[in-house]
A and B are shown apart, each in its own frame.
Chain A
Amino acid sequence: MRRREDGRGLEECRKPLICTKVVAQALGSSYVELGTTKIVCSVYGPKPNLDEFKQEGEIVYNYRRAPFALANRGKTGDQDNTVLDEKLAAEALDQALSLSVAIGKFPKSSFTVNVLVLESGPGELPLAIMAASVACCDGGIELYDMMSACTVCSVLGELIVDPTAEELQLSTFQLMLAYMTNRKEVAYLQSTGESTTTELKQAIQLGTHACGKCTEVIEECLTKSWQAEQ
């Protein structure tokens, strides 16, 4: 089997480090780390939603990168791009996670999910999705399922899972997907580049399989946090 530069197989994804209860004053929080990418997520609420009467709850996602998060920091010309980037990421989080939160159980309230990227890197958005899912679970928000996410990309005709920065640069096609393992539902899919239909189908399959592995890590972390509570 062909090995990649860091010794992994093509379909092997790195195991993220996940901890909960990182922010004491938040309802729930999580810290996730994958390679050099580091993300803290905190959930606050429930706050009364006074704008209109809704039988369902509302979740507001805030996605921010710390000023020191990017490798090339402080370029003021890039300010607009960063803000747009963050806004798109928040929208992606919203689309993905809204399928896993049981908002029907929280009438007239709103929760705020704050994602703070401490160090940016490849696989930032999938990691943020996992962080937000774990933080919501830690906060006691009712979820239909835990969500995990990963990136699959095509480099020189081969599909690889969880690419590093160099592999991403060489890739012709990238697919990011968020997957709920127990429900067997793909919650969010984002693809860039060119691919054939077969390649796309294969990539989705690889992605869901890798997400299954990530879910195992999430469940391990949740068990640990449960035992720590006792």
Chain B
Amino acid sequence: SSSASSSSSAERQVVAPGDRLGATTALVAGIGAYELEGGVYAALLGVREEVDGDDGRKIVSVRRKQKVVVLPKIGDQVMCQVTRINSRMAHVAIISVQGQLLGREEEHFPGLIRARDVRAFDIDDVKVQHAFRPGDIVMAEVISLGDARSYYLSTAKNELGVILARSAAGHTMVPISWQQMQCPVTKVKELRKVAKIDVKSSSSSSSKKKKKKRRKMRVLPSSMIMMTRMCSHCSKYRWLVEVFQ
């Protein structure tokens, strides 16, 4: 098989699915590679990358520049929107995995956050309606592949929870504590499980931000519809989502 390398250095070697990368005595299969009968082969079209592994062998992976097929795995941080709640759980639609947006609405994986996974302390007395409301954007972590219908998610960490919510009057709320958010117009306080995010540490460049802004508008149409039902303007909402991402 041809290993079409455009430059002489091994780092830039382009590999195609099925290309042999080496033997399992020297390599471990990472992302985009697989092991079979003593050899490690590429599974994607991309650039070959090697990192030193634990047991003296190198971890070889194949990296693609463009969008990769994203699926939630256990431990991934996901951004999701609450679709409905009941006393035992909150149903959500996962809209982004590890910072990568899932394009269309039909690709939004359903998830659920059970009452006992909302927070780390006092889990028996959790009231779901004091943590989430439909329409909220929540940062959560995948704890299990769950059942056929949903992934199981958890917000039991300080940095997980609601990052964007609208008040009953329809205005984007400002967080005032880890349990409360306040509507800036009516001054009404509402209970939520608020996420502790370091907003200033967003490291994306200005050009990336522009790209993300466009993509956001396409990705969250259901929430836009929900917001427009509750209020008349959405401009503040777009800016906030960009900042939180």
Contacts and interface: CB of A to CB of B under 8 A. Distances in A.
A151 interface: no
Contacts of A216: 2
Given A146-B18, A182-B19, A46 B107 contact: yes
A41 interface: no
A229 B67 CA distance: 12
B17 A140 contact: no
A51 B148 CA distance: 6
Contacts, number: 103
B71 A46 contact: yes
B69 A222 contact: no
Which A-B residue pairs are the 7 nearest by beta carbons?
Answer: A145-B18, A182-B18, A142-B43, A143-B17, A53-B148, A223-B4, A48-B109
Interface in A30-62: 45-53, 55
Interface string A130-157: 0000000111111111100000000000
Given A47-B107, A139-B69, A226 B45 contact: yes
Contacts of B226: none
Judged by DSSP, the binding face of B is loop
Chain A interface, DSSP helix/strand/loop, else mixed: loop
A144 B41 contact: yes
Interface stretch (A5-13, A106-114, A188-196): A106-114
B43 A143 contact: yes
Interface string B13-55: 0101111100000000000101010000101111000000000
B68 interface: yes
B66 interface: yes
B110 interface: yes
Contacts of B18: 143-146, 180-183
Interface residues on A, range: 35 or more
B147 interface: yes
13 contacts: A46-B71, A106-B71, A108-B145, A140-B66, A140-B67, A142-B69, A143-B17, A143-B18, A144-B36, A145-B41, A182-B1, A182-B20, A230-B65
Interface string B126-163: 00000000000000000001111101000000000000
B187 interface: no
B64 to A, nearest CB: 6
Contact of B17 (A45, A142, A225): A142
Contacts of A144: 17-18, 34, 36, 41, 43
